[in-house]
Each structure stands twice: as C-alpha cells, then as structure tokens.
Amino acid sequence: MTRFLTTLVVFACLAGPGLADVTGDYTAKGRNADGSVYSGTARLTETDGMVTVNWTVGTSSYSGTGPINGDVVTIDWGAASPVVYVVMPDGELHGTWADGAALEKLTPR
C-alpha cells in the first residue's frame, strides 16, 4: 500500500498547475479494505474547482464533494477518510480510500 501512495504523490507532484477536466461518466472498479472487489459507475461534475461524485455500486448509491487541485481530486463522502484520486494522462482517475487500505480506478466511458 505504501508503494501505491508513493506513486500517487509522485504523480501529483508531476502534475501541471492547471485543473484537469474530470466531468463525465466513468466505470468504477475497486478493492475494499477487506480485499473484496467491486464494480459500478460514477458520474463526476465540476463547478468552480469543486468536484461532485455520484457512485452506483450494485444497488447502493454514494455521493461526495471536494476540491480539485491540479490533477489531485479529494472527495469527502462522509467516511472517516476521503477518497483521493490522481488524474492520469489517459483520463483515468486512480484513487485510494479507507485511509489507504482500499483502491479505486475510474475509467472514462
């Protein structure tokens, strides 16, 4: 997990100063903190540097909002720790949540 977090920080440091355009529909795939996997969809909208994410995983829906800073998006979704994504050059968002114990990848649809 430390290697993944280090990679996120490196990508964040290499990111340009402009804000990435993350608005759109995504396929979500991830690994929960207990190691189980999940998949679903996410819709991201951005207004004035704030990103809103609406996830659908199975029959459950989740939402959160947070700032975009360069290529880093930090989403408060009501859990103890936020989801922190790095926007990759190909438009995917690679993230971690549950204080780094869980992972998620959003792929543009």
What range defines the domain where residue 45 resides?
Answer: 2-108
CATH number for the domain that contains residue 56: 2.40.128.120
Residue 40's pLDDT is 98
Residue 20's pLDDT is 84
Main-chain phi, psi angles of 103, to 5 degrees: -125, 155
Per-residue pLDDT of the chain (109 residues; tens, 9 = 90+): 555 544 455 444 444 456 789 999 999 999 999 999 999 999 999 999 999 999 999 999 999 999 999 999 999 999 999 999 999 999 999 999 999 999 999 999 9
Q: How many domains does the chain have?
A: 1
Residue 58, judged by CB atoms within 10 A of its CB (0-12, 13-18, 19+), counts as exposed
